[in-house]
Amino acid sequence: MEISRYVLLVMNIEHTSLLQFTIERLFSQSYSLWRIVLLYNKDLDIENIKTKYKNNKNIIWKKNNDHHIANVFNETLKYFLENDDYSHLCFINDHDKYYPNFIKFLLDGKRDFVYGNYHKRKDYIIEAREYKDKEDLIQNYQGLCNTMW
């Protein structure tokens, strides 16, 4: 793995009760060149956590005031595309467990696109299948979760 730029992680915060745990898991990553944009709704009370990490340069806080969350995702995508510090963009969930090799595992695959999968939910099972090409994947995939480009 010869990547010398940062991986930009993007997380939409929905569960403040898990946020502290998730951030600490990210700080235990074996791959250290990453930064995270934490997107949060104006209604969430995250001031204590923001205060704890206010001097941490790995965390970028983005508040979603009055727009749909897609607006903040688009702003973050624009930031990624206009900033040469980043090699990859990865959307992650605030309620997943990120083991110490999570980022390294994604990068070691040397793929243009990596994704997670909701294999099984309580009331819904998604059948595993192969796709003909990326267009087939984009048009027909269900259950997409964590993604990295």
Flag whether pLDDT at 144 surpasses 90.
Answer: no
- Taking CA 26 as the corner, what is the angle to CA 23 and CA 30, rounded to the nearest 5 degrees? 160
What's the pLDDT at 97? 79
pLDDT, tens digit, 9 for 90 and up, residues 53-105: 999 999 999 888 776 777 888 888 899 999 999 998 888 888 777 889 888 88
As given in the structure block, the two tokens for residue 135 are 């267009």
> pLDDT digit string (tens) for 12-65?
888 788 888 889 989 999 999 999 999 887 777 888 888 999 999 999 998 887
pLDDT at 30: 93
Per-residue tokens: 65: 């005031």
